[in-house]
Amino acid sequence: MDSELYALNERVNRLFFGCLLQDELIRRNELLQKEWQINLDRIEAMTENGTANLSDCESVEVELLNARQKAVELEASRAAFGQMLAALTGLSVEGIVLEMPPLPNNNFSVEINRPELRAFEAQSALAEARNRQIDAGLMPRAGAFVQGGYGRPGLNMLEDGFGAFYVAGLRLSWNIGKLYTLKSDRSKVGIALKEIDARRETFLFNTRLQLLQEDTEIHKTQALVQSDEDIIRLRTRLKEAAEAKLANGVISVTDLIREINAEDMARQSVAVHRIQQLMAAYAKRLTVND
């Protein structure tokens, strides 16, 4: 039961962070639509002044429509994640913007405390109990008995009258048939214990390997987020410079569109990498059952 609960928690975590990522991308998409609308209004004004043409307006309008289309896809994906999460937890997250959880400290204890280990311990205890049962079955069994009555004649068959009688004694029994199956029975228990130990060691090995992978993912996404911040800062400068150049007639609208899309992709990347970092950090805590 504990193992099944662990697997359920793992699925809930993935769905929760999936919802969280969709919320971030939807928020980013809303900002992008506003930016396209601002630039569309600006270029329409330039068209009226004769410094831009109709095709420039249409190019920006296409980008705005693409962003709106992307919003439909993101909303549908968010709804799907939310429905699956509600099916597992019984809690609806429809219409709720989930709060970004804090990044947990990566220096917590890595002692594995998984429910599967307790299951292996229970299986070993059961096998050991079977061993004790085998040993107990080999021991002779002694017992006392008392039997009494009242009748005619009594215990003395030579007397014709009524009399009480009783018989007491000891009973000793020994099932020597179990000696013939002793070796086989103990061998079966020994094999079962070795199989349990092997499964336990395999589980620990795979779990430690998973922890190494999660540590690698944590450090990788941490480095990506740091570089994302630098890329966003540079992309924002390039976009702002492109807007100034367009106002001065130095570059075309196509050049500005390219810079806006490049900055948006950088901001989407940092959103994805932050969620991936959180997923890896919380997956590590779940792996050790911290």
pLDDT tens digits for range 37-55: 999 999 999 999 888 899 9
- Which residues touch 19 (CB under 8 Å, ≥6 apart)? 78, 81, 82, 85, 93, 98
- pLDDT number for residue 120: 86
- pLDDT number for residue 259: 96
pLDDT tens digits for range 239-276: 999 999 998 889 999 999 999 999 999 999 999 999 99
> Domains of the chain: which residue ranges?
1-100, 109-139+180-289
| Predicted confidence (pLDDT) at residue 33 exceeds the cutoff of 90 | yes
More confident residue, 177 or 26: 26
- pLDDT number for residue 143: 58
Least confident piece of the model among 159-173, 183-197, 276-290: 159-173
Q: Are 12 and 71 in contact (CB under 8 A)?
A: no
- pLDDT number for residue 255: 95
Determine the Cα angle at 37 with ends 225 and 236, to 5°.
30
More confident residue, 41 or 126: 41
Q: What's the mean pLDDT in 195-206?
A: 91
pLDDT tens digits for range 128-146: 888 777 665 555 565 555 6
- pLDDT number for residue 155: 55
| Predicted confidence (pLDDT) at residue 16 exceeds the cutoff of 60 | yes
| Predicted confidence (pLDDT) at residue 29 exceeds the cutoff of 60 | yes
pLDDT tens digits for range 205-216: 998 999 999 999
User: Can you give the pTM of this predicted structure?
Assistant: 0.74
